[in-house]
Amino acid sequence: MLGLDKKDTSLLVIVAILTLLAPFILNPFPSGSAMAQFNAGYPDLMQRFVIFGIFAIGFNILFGLTGYLSFGHAAFLGVGSYSAVWMFKLFSYNVIPAIALSVVVAALFSLLIGYISLRRSGIYFSILTLAFAQMSFALAYSVLSNPKFNLTNGETGLQVYADDPQLFHRDSLPDMPHLFGLSMRSTYHLDIGAWSFDFNAGYYLCAVIMMVMFYLAIRIFRSPFGMMLRAVKSNQQRMNYTGLNPRPYTLAAFVISGMYAGLAGGLMAAMDPLAGAERMQWTASGEVVLMTILGGAGTLIGPVLGAGFIKYFENIFSKINDNILHQWFSFLPDGFEDFMVFIVHPFIGKGWHLTLGIMFMLVVIFLPGGLVEGGQRLGNWLRNRGKGAAEAKTKQEPAE
Amino acid sequence: MSNNELTRRGLLRTGAVAGAGVALPTIFTASSAAAYTNEPTGGTVTLGFNVPQTGPYADEGNDELLAQQLAVEHLNGEGDGGCLNTFTSKALKGNGILGKKVTFVTGDTQTKSDAARASAKSMIEKDGAIMINGGSSSGVAVAVQGLCQDAGVIFMAGLTHANDTTGKDRKANGFRHFFNAYMSGAALAPVLAKEMGNDRRAYHLTADYNWGWTQEESIVASTEALGWETVNTVKTPLASTDFSSYIAPVLNSGADVLVLNHYGGNMVNSLTNAIQFGLLDKVANGKDFKIVVPLYSELMAAGAGENIKGVLGSMNYNWQLDNEGSRAFVKSFGEKYGKPPSNSAQTCYAQVLLYADACERAGTFNPCGVAEALEGFEFDGLGNGKTLYRAEDHQCFKDVLVVRGAQNPTNAYDTLEIVEITPVEQVMYPPNHPMFGGDEATLGECNPGA
């Protein structure tokens, strides 16, 4: 279907089903139960899952295929957000032109940075991109937000004020980012028994865009262009000797992934019309690297899984506090309850970074291929379980 | 490489998927029937405490969290009742809010606008929080305040000192108990004149972001009104940890006062550098060199240690303040946590109580009703003395403390001494003051959401 082979088609269909049914899948526990703490099916987090999914898919086109590790991708995300909010401020709250502009601006910006940074490879390339991103952050945070020329509104973040021109805004339209009148915040609550599910317009817009972007990524992975990018990764020198210039390929990959980041930034602004400078900080750039590696660099679905994993920890684990722990362990005798709370305490609430760090270490040490490798191992184990042990033994991996 | 043949089945399948994709967002446009966002229906009401638990202001955030938990206890009738006994409004009975037991959820702002909004959104969308309280940065406060306005819940700001929060960024659903940069300037000026005279030359080092600028603007305005001269204002990057290169030029600038518009770690470092350069031992223009830190906090004072001795600054509240409300609060906070509360803790405690009280008096949790009850509300007994919540910009007006680093601290918490309690009349300003957005700044309409 759509020019994909059977395996890729089924992958795309799985992703489509997962994203469209996410409101059900992410809310497995009845609201009001003690486990409801772990539900992730509320609009904001679902939007974040798919938006950072898009960001990571794009990053993976650069890092997974060419092996160029950019440490400055958050800059494109931030630029995308700023341009989208400016579109809201000047013209209208309609998300389509805003998202389009954010992709275009991110493309131009990444062309500039890519053209300069790609003159070097390896660690030098990483450092160059990091330097550019930190420069953009400093510009957005301080320099471009002075009262005389306020482009980014600095620390507070760029937002839409009532006295902004908004040339095409009419009173009949919602005072929120909207898609031809459909507010991105409008949510339909569905109560089934003890469960409740949220269907949010903004989420479905992001989900549809993510599916399109995922499809695009598959096509890039499978195209001759994708093959060239892989060639850059495996041996750039050999490529040079055969008379091919890798620069246009890497630059194209860099710009494409920059556009993905810009799209993610634009969507973030479309879901919540505020662009903060922290989006461009190096920690944000590092986060997408973590997402990609955690999920599985160079795989199609990996980055999306990694993005979901990290965002889940950031938003769910950081909200567990001691009171909730006491509720969980309340069935234990008093002293033991306090002991358990004491043991778990460092890993929840403000300690979510610690938990995430441990998980990341475990994944990198035991599953170098990321969560995707974990899934594959699990799948193989399940498949081989039925067969005889002898059969499994005779099957040997071919040598590289 | 790729198979692009179009089959009838393939076309139908593609069409169906695309159609479903396009149709999906439009199906779900119905909104719920509640009168306002997160109307509490059961026997409990949920408040959202959104404080920095990681990042540069984590200490302040955790102190705020302690105070918020204490406030919830007192609202539910547990503990010793704290300021419920001294509060001039007697609407709160210690049986929760409007008979509903108070529960709370917590989140981490990370002192980043984005993360703070994500965390506040999850409290509103997932946990059904009806009010968001806390925070330790003006950027975050403005960002979360905007979110609460859009979502239709009340925002009770925590520590936020920039003029903009209730200036050009003021919102109908947002309320600030903390004082602001203008008030710091107005309160400090007379004390500075008394201690240092009217013909000083000041040199400003300012953290290069929104709060720093409003602070600098306010202090420059109020000191120049005294007759001081501003020699230079230098912006320092927020990420700086070593300020030596900024301090050195001060010595030769002809200035005799250094104003540090820094907060948190920035202030601790810049003050330490200034002391290392021996600024306080210098004599310039025939006068002793002085340092002023307009916004103080206990945690900064603890961080700067010995260096703050004799350095002047201002505060919203200090636990040594001697009034009935303050004594009651310090007693219950101290008994529960074994240390005196910081000024951000007191702000959050007061904000939670004020919100609860406004709900009781309004008889509803509807944000519009609550906002109306808070507007123009005059009260006493929460630790700051007589206080007014001004209706025009949702800013609290109360006495401002001018403090000085203690010369001979007797214990770890006795790092600051109160120099003067500047009466509220002196720090009053009209709601359309140019530093607060002028005539263009408006609260907008109150938004109940839904």
Question: Could you give the ipTM of this predicted complex?
Answer: 0.85
The count of other CB atoms within 10 Å of the CB of residue A89 is 18
Least confident of A110-114, A294-298, B287-291, B412-416: B412-416
Chain A residue with CA closest to B4: the answer is A3
Question: Two tokens at A166?
Answer: 């908004």
pLDDT band at A361 (very low <50, low <70, confident <90, very high): very high
Contact at CB, B115 and A278, closer than 8 angstroms: yes
The sheet carrying B377-379 orders its strands as B377-379, B387-389, B396-397
Chain B residue with CA closest to A265: the answer is B114
Chain A residue with CA closest to B62: the answer is A350
Where do runs of H (alpha helix) occur along chain A? 6-20, 22-25, 43-60, 74-90, 95-117, 122-138, 201-222, 224-234, 236-241, 246-271, 282-295, 302-316, 322-328, 334-344, 352-366, 370-386, 389-394
pLDDT band at B23 (very low <50, low <70, confident <90, very high): very low
A261 is in which domain, residue-wise? 6-26+42-281
pLDDT score for B8: 65
- Please state, in angstroms and rounded to a whole number, the distance separating the CA atoms of residues B217 and B181: 9
Chain B positions in Cβ-Cβ contact with residue A179 (cut-off 8 Å): 25
pLDDT score for A392: 47
pLDDT band at B289 (very low <50, low <70, confident <90, very high): very high
Chain B positions in Cβ-Cβ contact with residue A153 (cut-off 8 Å): 210
Contact at CB, A159 and B26, closer than 8 angstroms: no
Contact at CB, A156 and B113, closer than 8 angstroms: yes
Across the interface, which of B1, B113, B150 has its CB nearest the CB of A224?
Answer: B1
Mean of pLDDT values over A315-336: 82
Across the interface, which of A3, A45, A201 has its CB nearest the CB of B2?
Answer: A3
Pick among B24, B119, B126 to test the A interface (most A CBs inside 10 A): B126
Across the interface, which of A20, A146, A185 has its CB nearest the CB of B24?
Answer: A20
pLDDT score for B27: 41
Contact at CB, A201 and B29, closer than 8 angstroms: yes
Mean of pLDDT values over A367-381: 91
pLDDT band at B1 (very low <50, low <70, confident <90, very high): very low
Residue A347 lies in a domain: no
- Please state, in angstroms and rounded to a whole number, the distance separating the CA atoms of residues B330 and B416: 16
Strand duo B283-284 + B257-261: pairing: unpaired
- Please state, in angstroms and rounded to a whole number, the distance separating the CA atoms of residues B44 and B179: 32
Dihedral Cα B115, B116, B118, B120, nearest 10 deg: 160
Report the percentage of chain B scoring pLDDT > 70.
92
Residue A191 lies in a domain: yes
Question: What b/e sequence results for B357-395 when a residue is b if at least 16 CB atoms lie within 10 Å of its CB, and e otherwise?
Answer: bbbbbbebbbbbbbbbbbbebebbbbbbbebebeebbbb
Contact at CB, A318 and B108, closer than 8 angstroms: yes
CB B128, CB B104: distance < 8 Å: no
Q: Given a cut of 60, is residue A194 above it in pLDDT? A: yes
Distance of CA B75 to the CA centre of its chain: 22
CA distance B211 to chain A (A): 9
Q: Given a cut of 60, is residue A58 above it in pLDDT? A: yes
Residue A34 lies in a domain: no
> What's this model's pTM, rounded to 2 decimal places?
0.87
What is the per-residue pLDDT across B239-277, written as a single tens digit (0 to 9) for each?
Answer: 778 999 999 999 889 999 999 999 888 888 999 999 999
Q: B450: which residues sit within 8 A by CB, 6+ positions away?
A: B31, B32, B34, B35, B36, B37, B39, B152
Question: Two tokens at B229?
Answer: 């001269």
Q: How many helices (H) and strands (E) does chain B have?
A: 13, 17
Contact at CB, B137 and A176, closer than 8 angstroms: no
- Please state, in angstroms and rounded to a whole number, the distance separating the CA atoms of residues A382 and A393: 15
Number of domains in chain A: 1
HSE at residue A91, side-chain half, CA atoms within 13 A, is 13
Chain B residue with CA closest to A8: the answer is B2
Strands (E) across A64-162 are located at 145-146, 149-150, 158-159
- Check if B35 contacts A (Cβ < 8 Å): no
What is the per-residue pLDDT across A221-233, written as a single tens digit (0 to 9) for each?
Answer: 999 999 999 999 9
Chain A positions in Cβ-Cβ contact with residue B169 (cut-off 8 Å): 156
Place of tokens 């230098």: B234
CA distance B121 to chain A (A): 7
The overall average pLDDT reported for chain B is 89
Residue A355 lies in a domain: no
Contact at CB, B213 and A147, closer than 8 angstroms: yes
Residue A216 lies in a domain: yes
CB pairs under 8 A between A and B: 157
The overall average pLDDT reported for chain A is 89
Chain B positions in Cβ-Cβ contact with residue A274 (cut-off 8 Å): 113-114, 117, 143, 146-147
- Check if B142 contacts A (Cβ < 8 Å): yes
pLDDT score for B306: 86
CB B249, CB B281: distance < 8 Å: no
CA distance A220 to chain B (A): 11
Residue A81 lies in a domain: yes
Chain B positions in Cβ-Cβ contact with residue A188 (cut-off 8 Å): 27-31
Residue of A45, A124, A117, A43 whose CA lies nearest to A76: A117
Pick among B59, B121, B336 to test the A interface (most A CBs inside 10 A): B121
- Please state, in angstroms and rounded to a whole number, the distance separating the CA atoms of residues A246 and A390: 47
In chain B the domains, ranked by start, together with CATH numbers, are 44-179+319-398 (3.40.50.2300), 182-315 (3.40.50.2300)
Contact at CB, A321 and B137, closer than 8 angstroms: no
Contact at CB, A319 and B122, closer than 8 angstroms: yes
Residue A56 lies in a domain: yes
- Check if B407 contacts A (Cβ < 8 Å): no
- Please state, in angstroms and rounded to a whole number, the distance separating the CA atoms of residues A50 and B362: 41
CA distance B113 to chain A (A): 6
Distance of CA B155 to the CA centre of its chain: 11
